[in-house]
Protein backbone atom coordinates (compact mmCIF):
# COMPACT_ATOMS: atom_id res chain seq x y z
CA UNK A 1 0.00 0.00 0.00
CA UNK A 2 2.95 2.34 0.61
CA UNK A 3 3.88 1.97 -3.07
CA UNK A 4 0.34 3.02 -4.01
CA UNK A 5 0.55 6.15 -1.85
CA UNK A 6 3.93 6.91 -3.40
CA UNK A 7 2.48 6.63 -6.91
CA UNK A 8 -0.41 8.96 -5.98
CA UNK A 9 2.01 11.46 -4.43
CA UNK A 10 4.25 11.39 -7.51
CA UNK A 11 1.28 12.16 -9.78
CA UNK A 12 0.14 14.93 -7.43
CA UNK A 13 3.62 16.50 -7.40
CA UNK A 14 3.95 16.10 -11.17
CA UNK A 15 0.64 17.91 -11.60
CA UNK A 16 1.73 20.70 -9.27
CA UNK A 17 5.05 21.07 -11.08
CA UNK A 18 3.44 21.05 -14.53
CA UNK A 19 0.79 23.56 -13.49
CA UNK A 20 3.41 25.91 -12.03
CA UNK A 21 5.83 25.48 -14.95
CA UNK A 22 3.24 26.18 -17.65
CA UNK A 23 1.43 28.79 -15.56
CA UNK A 24 -2.03 27.27 -15.97
CA UNK A 25 -4.87 28.59 -13.82
CA UNK A 26 -5.82 24.94 -13.16
CA UNK A 27 -4.85 23.59 -9.72
CA UNK A 28 -1.93 21.18 -9.76
CA UNK A 29 -3.86 18.43 -8.01
CA UNK A 30 -6.40 18.44 -10.85
CA UNK A 31 -3.60 18.26 -13.44
CA UNK A 32 -2.07 15.35 -11.53
CA UNK A 33 -5.42 13.58 -11.42
CA UNK A 34 -5.79 13.99 -15.19
CA UNK A 35 -2.25 12.63 -15.70
CA UNK A 36 -3.11 9.62 -13.53
CA UNK A 37 -6.34 9.08 -15.46
CA UNK A 38 -4.46 9.21 -18.78
CA UNK A 39 -1.91 6.70 -17.50
CA UNK A 40 -4.57 4.31 -16.21
CA UNK A 41 -6.48 4.62 -19.47
CA UNK A 42 -3.36 3.74 -21.46
CA UNK A 43 -2.47 0.69 -19.36
CA UNK A 44 -6.18 -0.28 -19.12
CA UNK A 45 -6.03 -1.43 -15.50
CA UNK A 46 -5.51 -0.09 -12.01
CA UNK A 47 -2.42 -1.57 -10.35
CA UNK A 48 -3.18 -3.33 -7.07
CA UNK A 49 -1.08 -0.97 -4.86
CA UNK A 50 -2.84 2.09 -6.31
CA UNK A 51 -6.26 0.47 -5.85
CA UNK A 52 -5.50 -0.37 -2.21
CA UNK A 53 -4.22 3.13 -1.45
CA UNK A 54 -7.23 4.69 -3.17
CA UNK A 55 -9.69 2.55 -1.20
CA UNK A 56 -7.99 3.58 2.03
CA UNK A 57 -8.22 7.26 1.10
CA UNK A 58 -11.89 6.98 0.11
CA UNK A 59 -12.71 5.70 3.61
CA UNK A 60 -11.58 9.04 5.04
CA UNK A 61 -12.98 11.26 2.29
CA UNK A 62 -15.56 12.85 4.59
CA UNK A 63 -12.76 14.45 6.62
CA UNK A 64 -11.93 16.60 3.59
CA UNK A 65 -15.26 18.41 3.97
CA UNK A 66 -14.29 19.82 7.38
CA UNK A 67 -12.12 22.65 5.92
CA UNK A 68 -14.95 23.62 3.58
CA UNK A 69 -17.34 23.90 6.53
CA UNK A 70 -14.83 26.01 8.45
CA UNK A 71 -14.42 28.22 5.38
CA UNK A 72 -18.18 28.79 5.25
CA UNK A 73 -18.23 29.87 8.88
CA UNK A 74 -15.13 32.04 8.44
CA UNK A 75 -16.61 33.88 5.43
CA UNK A 76 -20.22 33.97 6.58
CA UNK A 77 -20.54 37.71 5.87
CA UNK A 78 -19.52 37.20 2.22
CA UNK A 79 -21.96 34.33 1.92
CA UNK A 80 -24.80 36.47 3.23
CA UNK A 81 -23.88 39.39 0.96
CA UNK A 82 -23.40 37.36 -2.23
CA UNK A 83 -25.17 34.09 -1.48
CA UNK A 84 -27.84 34.48 -4.15
CA UNK A 85 -25.19 34.92 -6.85
CA UNK A 86 -23.27 31.93 -5.55
CA UNK A 87 -26.39 29.76 -5.65
CA UNK A 88 -27.14 30.93 -9.20
CA UNK A 89 -23.60 30.18 -10.35
CA UNK A 90 -23.59 26.75 -8.67
CA UNK A 91 -26.97 25.85 -10.19
CA UNK A 92 -25.93 27.01 -13.67
CA UNK A 93 -22.58 25.22 -13.57
CA UNK A 94 -24.25 22.04 -12.32
CA UNK A 95 -26.78 22.15 -15.15
CA UNK A 96 -24.05 22.80 -17.72
CA UNK A 97 -21.97 19.93 -16.32
CA UNK A 98 -24.94 17.57 -16.51
CA UNK A 99 -25.64 18.59 -20.12
CA UNK A 100 -21.98 18.13 -21.03
CA UNK A 101 -21.96 14.65 -19.49
CA UNK A 102 -25.08 13.68 -21.46
CA UNK A 103 -23.44 14.92 -24.67
CA UNK A 104 -20.24 12.99 -23.90
CA UNK A 105 -22.22 9.86 -23.07
CA UNK A 106 -24.15 10.08 -26.33
CA UNK A 107 -20.96 10.70 -28.28
CA UNK A 108 -19.12 7.67 -26.89
CA UNK A 109 -22.07 5.34 -26.35
CA UNK A 110 -21.59 1.84 -27.73
CA UNK A 111 -24.73 0.60 -29.41
CA UNK A 112 -25.85 -2.91 -28.53
CA UNK A 113 -26.48 -5.16 -31.51
User: Is the Cα torsion angle 22, 24, 30, 34 positive or negative in sign?
Assistant: negative
Three-class secondary structure of residue 29 per DSSP = helix
Q: What pLDDT, on a 0 to 100 scale, did the predictor assign at position 37?
A: 95
Q: Are residues 91 and 44 in the same domain?
A: no
Q: Are residues 50 and 96 in the same domain?
A: no
DSSP per residue, 43-76: HTS--HHHHHHHHHHHHTGGGGGHHHHHHHHHTH
Q: Are residues 9 and 57 in the same domain?
A: yes
> pLDDT tens-digit profile of 29-39?
999 999 999 99
Q: Are residues 24 and 78 in the same domain?
A: no
Query: What CA–CA distance (Å, rounded) separates 37 from 46?
Result: 10
If one counts the domains in the chain, the total is 2
> pLDDT tens-digit profile of 73-97?
898 898 899 989 989 999 999 999 9
Structural domain of 97 = 72-113
Q: Are residues 78 and 113 in the same domain?
A: yes
Query: What CA–CA distance (Å, rounded) separates 107 from 41?
Result: 18
Whether the predicted pLDDT of 113 surpasses 60: no
The share of the chain scoring above pLDDT 90, in percent, equals: 66
Q: Are residues 52 and 10 in the same domain?
A: yes
pTM above 0.85, yes or no: no
Amino acid sequence: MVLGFLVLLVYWLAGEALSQWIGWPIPGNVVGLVLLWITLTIIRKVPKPVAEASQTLIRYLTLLFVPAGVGLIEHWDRLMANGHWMLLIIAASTALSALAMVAIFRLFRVKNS
